[in-house]
Amino acid sequence: MVMEADIVQALRSIEDPDLHRDIVSLGFVKDLRIDGGRVTFTIELTTPACPVKEHFRTLATQCVLALPGVTDVAVQFTANVRASARSQPTPLLPDVKNIIAIASGKGGVGKSTLTANLACAMAQSGAMVGVLDADIYGPSLPKMLGALHPTLSVDAQNRLIPLELHGMKVFSLGFMVTDDTPVIWRGPMVHNVLNQLLGQVAWGVLDYFFIDLPPGTGDAQLTITQSVPLTGAVIITTPQEVSIQIASKGLKMFQEVQVPVLGFVENMSAFCCPHCHRESAIFRQGGTERAAQIHHVPFLGAIPIDPMVALDCDAGEPIVFAHPDSEAAKAYQAIAGRVAAALSTRQMETAEAAG
Ligand SMILES: Nc1ncnc2c1ncn2[C@@H]1O[C@H](COP(=O)(O)OP(=O)(O)O)[C@@H](O)[C@H]1O
Ligand SMILES: [Mg+2]
């Protein structure tokens, strides 16, 4: 006879590497059924983008199969993304669980490309994802996500309906301004327009809401970080010295407004030659990781230089969709997993601290 208590005891041996507790005491194991020698159960993760999902599947199958009498194990997965303490309750986005800003010290380091690919990777994993392009200097998500001149519509409450692109809800400042009108935004205008993009767009229920911030650490960025109830920020940089210094400034800005920095990402880290398959560090490599260590910020990963990254974005299909098996796509997917894990960990820690 296979006993439920033995199965539960066996599953206690599996520890979540981010939350540092076993999956039973975390309450992840659900719907346990025993039918003769056949055991089925569900593991409910805190994010569908969980980087250790397959690892859990292997361990859970192995340890239950090792019990006497068990002939067959089937593990299912679900996810229940929990709302971060920080973004709840927010009158602007009541049903958005996590709000993540993507920031960079300067332009052209791949911030929008990261936003598009991270968001796509999360959506691919099954999460409900929204993306707001808040780059007042150069909104680029309409092109990167393939919606240059969309027709906008409103719902019954007269709220703008975000576009559905690649399984995500997307809205961009670029939908509202024409290509050749440079916009000069002053502080109060930035604040007002953001409030509109958050409050008057029908975002609905979202697990992860990504905001592509304008580059820099000046007034506009500060206004945005103060106007939006951010859960956390990801700072992207390239390996050049100057770029890393600016990233450190970005870190300081978020610390000043008490927004947790989830980590640093290094873009354009190395170039893998498509002909000889050898890697060259076009810019100096590894600087971002060292900067992260110095500032005690997690290092979330490095993205190689790959012409396909740019080509796919130019064609409106981020590389995680267009070429999911490429090294660059895998790098974006891994970073998405680490961001999701970091958010789950923070949520759990805050919830526990609050009792
Ligand atoms: N890893 C990469 N490999 C190759 N090209 C990249 C990579 N990351 C970004 N790019 C390209 O660099 C340019 C700047 O990227 P973008 O995301 O628009 O930067 P930002 O939003 O920081 O200004 C774009 O043409 C983009 O396609
Ligand atoms: Mg950009």
Q: For ligand 1, atom 14, which residue shows the shortest CA distance?
A: 108
Q: Provide residues with CB under 6 Å of ligand 1.
A: 104, 107-113, 140, 215, 267-268, 303, 305-306, 309-310, 313, 328
pLDDT recorded at residue 178? 66
Q: List, for residues 60-76, the tens digit of each pLDDT value.
A: 999 999 999 999 999 99
User: Measuring CA to CA, which residue among 224, 223, 201 is closest to residue 211?
Assistant: 224
Task: Extract the tokens encoding 52.
Answer: 């250790």
Count other C-beta atoms under 10 Å from residue 30's C-beta: 12
Domain 4-79: give its CATH architecture.
2-Layer Sandwich (3.30)
Residues, CB-to-ion distance under 5 Å, ligand 2: 111-112, 140
The alpha carbon of 102 and the centre of ligand 2 are apart by a number of angstroms equal to: 10
Q: For ligand 1, atom 27, which residue shows the shortest CA distance?
A: 310
The alpha carbon of 126 and the centre of ligand 2 are apart by a number of angstroms equal to: 25
SS3 content of the chain, % helix, strand, coil (to 5): 35, 25, 40
- What mean pLDDT do residues 27-55 have? 96
Which ligand is the nearest neighbour of the Cα of 110?
1
**Which of 129-133, 176-180, 202-206, 300-304 bottoms out in mean pLDDT, i.e. has the lowest?**
176-180
The two beta strands, 38-45 and 29-35, are: antiparallel
CATH class of the domain comprising 96-353: alpha beta
Q: What angle do CA 327, 331, 335 make, to 5 degrees?
A: 170
Edge-first strand order for the sheet with 29-35 is 29-35, 38-45, 72-79
* Mean of the per-residue pLDDT values of the chain: 90
Q: How far apart are the first and last CA of the chain?
A: 39
Residues of the chain with CATH 3.30.300.130: 4-79
Between residues 86 and 350, the one the model is more confident about: 350
- What mean pLDDT do residues 17-32 have? 94
Strand partners of residue 247: none
The overall pTM is greater than 0.85: yes
pLDDT recorded at residue 275? 79
Q: At residue 2, what is the residue type?
A: V
**Which of 3-7, 48-52, 95-99, 184-188 bottoms out in mean pLDDT, i.e. has the lowest?**
184-188
Measured CA to CA, the distance from residue 52 to residue 16 in angstroms comes to 8
Measured CA to CA, the distance from residue 65 to residue 73 in angstroms comes to 7
Q: What angle do CA 100, 102, 107 make, to 5 degrees?
A: 165
Q: Which ligand 1 atom is nearest residue 212's CA?
A: 21
Q: Would you say residue 350 has pLDDT above 60? A: yes
The alpha carbon of 103 and the centre of ligand 2 are apart by a number of angstroms equal to: 9
Instruction: Give 35's Cβ-side CA count (13 Å radius).
Output: 8
The two beta strands, 129-133 and 206-212, are: parallel
User: Measuring CA to CA, which residue among 240, 287, 281 is closest to residue 106?
Assistant: 240
The alpha carbon of 113 and the centre of ligand 2 are apart by a number of angstroms equal to: 7
Residue 89: pLDDT band by 50, 70, 90 thresholds?
Answer: low
Asked if 144 and 318 count as a contact pair (C-beta separation under 8 A), the reply is yes
The two beta strands, 261-272 and 232-237, are: parallel
Q: For ligand 1, atom 26, which residue shows the shortest CA distance?
A: 310
331: left (phi over 0), alpha (psi -120 to 50) or beta: alpha
Q: List, for residues 261-273, the tens digit of each pLDDT value.
A: 999 999 988 777 7
Residue 87: pLDDT band by 50, 70, 90 thresholds?
Answer: very low
Measured CA to CA, the distance from residue 192 to residue 274 in angstroms comes to 47
Measured CA to CA, the distance from residue 328 to residue 307 in angstroms comes to 10
Residues of the chain with CATH 3.40.50.300: 96-353
Inter-axis angle of helices 219-227 and 187-199, nearest 10: 30
Q: List, for residues 110-138, the tens digit of each pLDDT value.
A: 999 999 999 999 999 999 999 999 987 78
Asked if 135 and 107 count as a contact pair (C-beta separation under 8 A), the reply is no
pLDDT recorded at residue 88? 47
Measured CA to CA, the distance from residue 186 to residue 182 in angstroms comes to 13
Q: For ligand 1, atom 6, which residue shows the shortest CA distance?
A: 310
Q: In which element (H, E) is residue 129 found?
A: strand 129-133
Q: For ligand 1, atom 16, which residue shows the shortest CA distance?
A: 110
Strand partners of residue 77: 43
pLDDT recorded at residue 57? 97
Q: List, for residues 215-247, the tens digit of each pLDDT value.
A: 988 877 888 888 888 999 999 999 877 767 877
Q: Would you say residue 297 has pLDDT above 60? A: yes
